[in-house]
Amino acid sequence: MKREAGILAALAAERRRADEFEQSLSWRITAPLRILSKAIRGSRPVAPAVDMDALLARLPDTEVLPPPILDDGDAIRRAEWASNLQTYSGYVPDDLSLLTKYTDETVLPEPGFIVDFAGVRTRTSAVWEAAKIFDGHRLPLPIPGDFHAETVEWIGLLKAVDAARDRFVMMELGAGFGPWVVAGGVAARFKGIKNIKLYAVEGDALHCDLMREHFSDNGFDQAEHSILCAAVGVEDGTASWPKPGHDASNSHYNLRPVTDGADYMGRDFVEMVTVQMLAFDGLLKNEPVWDLIHIDIQGHEVDICRAAIDSLNSRVRHIVVGTHSRKIDGDLLDLMKSAGWLLLNEKPARFHFDVAAPTLEAMTFLDGTQVWRNPRLS
């Protein structure tokens, strides 16, 4: 009875923390950073000494953290326990073995960079302000996430890499500075794959510049890969794109083409630029087979997948999709199931209802993730 009472007490505590969690719109950036900060403070010494108390003091004073994580093994054990309490973890405990399988501890931390568990080096100048506190440090396993993503998204990426054979071909749409396409390439290289081809498509010119640096910083010759500075749509054409400030790392992320002069988040932009728009279906025809397509285009994911479904069915082995509303969650599930794809992992978008929000996507404070496998090409 005492054990059951303890579990109930733990569940109640989790629920209270979840309620507080839901009330804080700042979670989108700050809570993963706070969890990661606590993990670094308690982890084995793989980075220079960090005054984590000072770093945490710079973040909002909302305690949503579990007890300190002692090491990566402890992180996995805690995640297995927590998966029984979380409504939507997005993965099963067995999935976590992929994180340790693709851990590369040979890449050392250095000033000016954030190094993740897989050995991906990210320039601190490329990330948003709240993530800059991890400059010069190596991060632990991304459980329940790291500075830019949740566990489920990492698992989706690594499932595609793990299934690849002698060649790895990947494209990231809405790439920003290219975190996923470069991480895919790094993981494939760590696996021993030599024939790697990476494509990245991003509508913002300043982010494209950051992405070129990110490729080079991680050992990928831009001449051997394809970085396309363009928006992605149902068909070829042009689009109006918000022009950010001079500092791309601190300017708006979460951009997409503006229609009828209105931004989907209700933001005001002083200046717009015209950018090329590339049809998703046409992009897919650049390769006979793709191991992974990562899609994060702020709300048009179902539209482009529906328009390119025949090419997806015949050319793509895996997709990882960032979803930006509950409606998109359901519409994408319906589309891909009807097309015969198999859902490997999913976690729905989280939102706060706001009657004044201009779109459903504007209510979303944490993107969802869906990971799909194509049985025709497995």
| Residue range 167-204, pLDDT digits in tens | 999 999 999 999 999 999 999 999 999 999 999 999 88
**Shared domain check, 104 and 210:** no
**Shared domain check, 169 and 112:** no
Q: Is residue 146 part of a domain?
A: no
**Shared domain check, 351 and 259:** yes
Which tokens go with 190? 């760590």
Pick from 99, 134, 169: which residue ends a domain? 134
Give the per-residue pLDDT at 87.
Answer: 60
Instruction: Give me the residues of the chain with pLDDT under 70, please.
Output: 1-87, 244-270
Domain extent at residue 115: 2-134
**Shared domain check, 177 and 61:** no
**Shared domain check, 126 and 263:** no
Q: Is residue 141 part of a domain?
A: no
The CATH number given to whatever domain includes residue 346 is: 3.40.50.150
Q: Is residue 143 part of a domain?
A: no
**Shared domain check, 173 and 125:** no
Asked if 244 and 206 count as a contact pair (C-beta separation under 8 A), the reply is yes
Give the per-residue pLDDT at 309.
Answer: 98
Strands of the chain (E only): list them.
113-115, 121-123, 167-173, 195-202, 226-229, 231-233, 237-242, 272-279, 292-295, 318-323, 342-347, 350-351, 364-366, 368-373
Asked if 29 and 134 count as a contact pair (C-beta separation under 8 A), the reply is no
What gap in Å lies between CA 210 and CA 212, rounded to an integer? 5
Q: Is residue 66 part of a domain?
A: yes
Q: Is residue 361 part of a domain?
A: yes
Pick from 87, 104, 134: which residue ends a domain? 134
Number of domains within the chain: 2
**Shared domain check, 177 and 77:** no
What gap in Å lies between CA 239 and CA 229, rounded to an integer? 12
What gap in Å lies between CA 181 and CA 83, rounded to an integer? 28
What gap in Å lies between CA 173 and CA 178, rounded to an integer? 9
> How much is the mean pLDDT over the chain?
80
Q: Is residue 284 part of a domain?
A: yes
Write down the pTM of the prediction: 0.76
**Shared domain check, 341 and 295:** yes
Which 3 state secondary structure label does DSSP give 34? Answer: helix
Give the per-residue pLDDT at 373.
Answer: 99
Pick from 78, 104, 134: which residue ends a domain? 134
**Shared domain check, 128 and 163:** no
Residues 6+ apart with CB under 8 A from 8: none
**Shared domain check, 233 and 353:** yes
Q: Is residue 73 part of a domain?
A: yes
Give the per-residue pLDDT at 298.
Answer: 76
Torsion angle, alpha carbons of 48, 49, 55, 56, to 10? 120
Q: Is residue 89 part of a domain?
A: yes
Give the per-residue pLDDT at 74.
Answer: 65
Torsion angle, alpha carbons of 203, 206, 212, 218, to 10? -110
**Shared domain check, 346 and 203:** yes
What gap in Å lies between CA 217 and CA 213, rounded to an integer? 6
Give the per-residue pLDDT at 356.
Answer: 81
**Shared domain check, 208 and 119:** no
